[in-house]
Amino acid sequence: MKGSRLGEFEEFTLLAVRALKDATYAVPVQAFVERTAGRAVTMGAVYAALDRLEAKGFVRSVLGDPTPQRGGKRKRLYEITPAGMRTLRELRRVRDRIWMTIEEGGRS
Amino acid sequence: VSAAPDMPRLARLLLRLRPLGRRRPEVEADLRDVFTARLVAHGVRYARRRFYGDVLSLWWHPLPSTEASRRSRFDRARVIDRMRHDVRDVVRGLRRNAVVSLAAILSLGFGIGAASTAFSVIDVFYFRPLPFPSPDRLVWIAEQTPHNFDGCPRCPFLTSPSTLADWAKQARSLERIAAIQGTTFRWAHGDVVESLQASGVTPQFFALLGVRPALGRGFTPDDFLTGAAAVILLSDDVWRTRLGADARVLGTRLTTEGHDVTIVGILPRDFRFRDASEVWLPLSMAGGSRSSRSLTAFGRLRQGFTLQSAAAEFTGLQAGLAATYPAAYRDWGIGVQPLRALLTSGRGKNRLTVMALTALVLLVGILNVSGLMLNRAMARRHEFALRSALGGSRWQIVRQLLVEGMAIGLAGGVVGMLLAFALLPLASVWFSIGTTALAVEPNYRLLMFGAAVALAAGASTSVGPAILTWRGELTRALGEGSSRTTGGAIGTRDALAAVQIAIALVLATTAGLLSHDFLQVRFLDLGYDPRGLYSTTLQGTAEQANNLALWHAAASAARDRVAAVVGIASASVEHRSAIHPSVVRPADASFEPSSSDTPVVKAVDPSYFQTFGTGLLAGRTFTATDDRRHFPVAMVNRAAAARFWPARDPVGRQVFVGDSPTDDESLTIVGMVEDAERGEEVERHWPVVYRPFAQAPMYLPTAFLFVRVSDVQDAGALAAVQTAIRGTGRATGPLQSEESNVDERFLPSQVNAAAFDLFAVFGLFLATIGIYASVAYGVSRREREVGIRMALGATRRSVIGSLAGRQMRWGLGGITAGLAGALALRRVLDALLLAPGGTDPWLLALSACLSAAVAFVAICLPAWRATRVDAAMTLRAE
């Protein structure tokens, strides 16, 4: 496994959980990643990524209350943990630094 | 899965099989949400496709959280996980040996493709329910011909409208009863009259089959009343191809024979019954004698009745009718059969032979891959032995072999399915079922069959190596020298090769015979020249229908008009008699009539044989003076002469032609021509009696008009003829090229021959590879021995003998077995052949020699190559 590091798809998934705010579930996450990344994403991949993120402690999940729309079936609701948030920020800082270097290099 | 409509069934099943533990409810609900969202946004096709993707992705991705609560002893999820690893290993292994793997995959793929196509055909013929609601309750009711009936004693036959009406009134076992009758619909549009294939049906027909028009309405009882406005239903095909799929045609009219019919409905696209009917009309049931049987009747059993109880009831009904109307029903019986029997009768000739041969192709494929797998397993003896020494269990090695086999099988299955999709339309043509309710189409039964065969075939190829591993023969090799090969494996492989030779020989023989037969019937002399010959149909008026002289004059005038066109060498008419006379026999009492070759009687004009280019063998052809005022004459073809007066000159003899023994007409034979009948292939040598057009009685005022152009390339002449025939006002369609008719007529046998050739070439090719690989492997293990023997002065021949001797003996065994098989098949093959004379023993011998030669080369080549290697080099390499 990748330890506390994130693969590209995991990063997208984690970002989606953050972007969709609190208490989202697998279906909107799939739709979000598919829409923003512009490529077909299977539910299996989303479940696997959420599973791994949860194992790494970046998201946590609870079973929601049954809703009549789903025939009484519960949703598994995900939210990002502080650790997950820290990792995302860290990744972004690294990228920003790299881009800054590139753009300065471009100007000079 | 909580049901959302349109969710694909197979994918739902796969989802149910995927272990998900306690997360199942939420995952299933999620997938349903996604499906619904996509359904709304992108439509059902997209949603279904993506649903498959999602389900498959669940199988692919490990979901640890689904297993947390599972502590059962047999943990499916873990097995799946392990299998995933196995599959990855195998894929890598196959990639390493790409060429061998590809050969194996293609071998199996071809076999699976052929077998799956065969399965589809067998399926529609025997098993797949007919595409109508409750198809098991549909029955075909046919009168049975008397035991002395011409041509076919005790056969299912048509029934008459009056009989049908009595059945409808009296039969309690049937919920509904209906009948159908083939006819033509002459559609007049623009300045042409076009003949469409039509079916006349009784009021219950569509209700009985549970078919509703896709557009508009079906027939109502009022449509069948005398004097009702004429209505018509169109097939989807006609509507699309001829009327531009325009819904506004409903309620518009088509003109036929001087009156109009209103289009009231379009039938569903997939609706087919028994033939390629293009339009459907209400069938008038009025009147008619009980002996004029023209309807095909069928019914739907009432709930609670069986085929047997219905048959018993109808036997009783028929006995009652026979008592009331003895003349019409004397000796006639009745039969009630499943509707399937009606649709399959006369179709799918020799399907079982074809199935057997496809099974052979699959078998060759499996044997071949088995041989390849065996070689690979032997080459990996060291690896297996090492693994076993390091504590790997035999089961692990066997499992890997099985997974490998199944992976090859599945890949072969994919190839096979693609092949089957391509072959299905050909199979439809081959078995002439494309236009019936039996039409074969790719469906999930085919996919299931293909998958099952692929897995079974794949697994069976690894049985040999697996058994050897289990017995320890492949894992014991670690301590032994690398040149020692295991006896069991070698023996198995040689036996495989021998069986392959035998099967290849059977295939090659069959293909040789069929191809030869095809070439014989197709490209040898037809008895006439189809190039530059064109035909159309002439149709008389109602007035001419009752007056032979008028009709004769009209038809002759049309012919003369066409014959006068520049560039036309000759034109002639042939009277098309729907019912040919039932009594045709020579005046000599010695003749024994046989129902199997009752001569056909045709009425033709004097220029007929010139137009066809058929050679006159004796006597003269008809002249303009052979008319009503002169004594009646006739000509015969060679086959009729041979039938009536074997080895004697037919000219000057008498032949009786008539409808019953009392009103026979005695005709004098004036000439004999070459066999040139242009019907089905077998009919080229059918006995034919020709009468002068001007002397023959008329059954229907229709005739063929044949035109021969002087120059085949002359398109201008053809256009002029088109104008001329249009000007006659009697032609019912554009000119048809006889050449393309011939091509079309031979298409099924061409497909037949080509498919068998393909089978044979492939079978032979596989067998060759199998044998070659087997010998080459054996030889490569003994290079050192060869080197030593060559160095010691052994002759090349003796070395080859010792290297390939065993395979040669096995090969001889294979050839003997194959020859025996081919001889046994000969009887079956005779039935497949179209040309007269049956199988040719020389061809049999030739195919056998060819197969033997190929096997011989495949055996000797590797041995011979081994002896070419420099002995000193081999020894130095040690």
Rounded to two decimals, the ipTM of the complex is 0.85
DSSP letter at B77? H
Angle at B9 between CA B6 and CA B11, to 5 degrees: 105
pLDDT of residue B595: 53
Q: Which residues of A touch B33 (CB under 8 A)?
A: 27, 70
How far apart are the C-alpha atoms of B224 and B286, rounded to whole Å? 10
- For A108, other C-beta atoms within 10 Å of its C-beta total 5
- How far apart CA B219 and CA B233 sit, in angstroms, is 8
Which residue of A lies nearest to B53 if distances are taken between CA atoms?
A42
Q: How many contacts, defined by CB atoms under 8 Å, are there between A and B?
A: 66
Q: Which of A29, A50, A73, A75 to mutate to test the interface with B (most CBs of B within 10 A)?
A: A73
Q: What is the mean pLDDT of each run of 10 residues along chain B (878 residues)?
A: 68 85 87 90 88 89 62 56 73 75 83 87 83 88 77 77 88 91 82 80 90 89 85 90 86 83 90 85 78 86 90 91 85 87 72 74 80 76 76 77 85 91 81 74 84 88 78 59 54 75 78 71 70 81 76 84 83 68 68 64 86 87 84 87 84 77 73 76 70 76 83 76 74 74 71 72 74 72 76 80 77 83 73 60 76 80 76 62
List Cβ neighbours of B54 (8 Å cut-off, separation of 6 or more): A42, A43, A44, B31, B34
Look at B63 and A51 and tell me if their CB atoms are within 8 Å: yes
**Amino acid at position B357, single letter:** L
Tell me the CA distances in angstroms from B467 to B393, B487, B508, B770, one per residue in order. 14, 13, 32, 20
| pLDDT on residue A42 | 92
Q: Write down the pLDDT at residue B748.
A: 65
Pick from B540, B539, B522, B538: nearest CA to B530: B522
| Three-state DSSP state, B363 | helix
This prediction's pTM: 0.60
Cβ neighbours of A70 in B, within 8 Å: 29, 32-33
- Cβ-Cβ contacts under 8 Å for B579 (sequence gap 6 or more): B699
Rounded to a whole number of angstroms, the distance from the CA of A70 to the nearest CA of chain B is 6
H-run or E-run covering B265: strand B259-266
CB B61 to CB A48 under 8 A? yes
What is the model's pLDDT at position A17?
92
- Say if the Cβ atoms of B57 and A25 lie within 8 Å: no
Closest residue to A42, CB basis, from B37, B57, B64? B57
Residue of A nearest to B34 (CA): A27
Q: What is the pLDDT of residue B73?
A: 40
Buried b (16+ CB within 10 A) or exposed e, B555-594: bbebbebbbebeebbbbbbbbebeeebebbbbeeeeeeee
Residue B47 CA: distances (Å) to CA of A30, A39, B13, B121: 14, 16, 17, 32
The amino acid at B50: R
Please state, in angstroms and as integers, the Cα–Cα distance from residue B485 to each residue in B569, B804, B846, following that order. Answer: 77, 16, 37
CA dihedral (B493, B499, B502, B503) positive or negative: negative
The pairing of strands B600-604 and B688-692 is: parallel
Which value, in Å, is the radius of gyration of the alpha carbons in chain A? 16
pLDDT of residue B575: 77
Give residues with Cβ within 8 angstroms of B354, minimum separation 6.
B118, B121, B430
Provide, as residue numbers in chain B, all residues whose Cβ is less than 8 Å from the Cβ of A56.
none
H helical segments located in B729-795:
738-780, 783-791
Q: Which two tokens stand for residue B381?
A: 């003896």
The one-letter amino acid code at B531 reads R
Flag if A71 and B27 touch (Cβ within 8 Å).
no
pLDDT at residue A13 above 80? Answer: yes
Residue B455 near residue B406 (C-beta atoms within 8 A): yes
End-to-end CA distance of chain B: 67
Residues of chain A contacting B2 with CB distance shorter than 8 Å? 71, 73
| pLDDT value at residue B1 | 44
Is the minimum CB–CB distance between B182 and chain A shorter than 8 Å?
no
- Does residue B62 sit at the A interface (CB-CB below 8 Å)? yes
Rg of chain B (C-alpha set): 35
Q: What's the token pair of residue B763?
A: 């079978």
Positive/negative CA dihedral, B698, B700, B704, B705: positive
Cβ distance of A70 and B58 shorter than 8 Å: no
Contact B677, B686 (CB under 8 A): yes
- A44 has a chain B CB within 8 A of its CB: yes
Whether A13 has its CB under 8 Å from any CB of chain B: the answer is no
Q: Could you say which of A44, A71, A75 has the minimum Cβ distance to residue B54?
A: A44
Integer Cα distance of A17 and B458 in angstroms: 45
* Of B58, B64, B65, Cβ closest to residue A43: B58
B46 close contact with A: CB closer than 8 A: no
Please choose, from the candidates B384, B396, B403, B373, the residue with its C-alpha nearest in 3D space to the C-alpha of residue B465. B373
Residues of chain A with Cβ-Cβ distance to B26 below 8 Å are 63, 73-76
Q: Distance between CA atoms of B692 and B658, rounded to whole angstroms?
A: 15
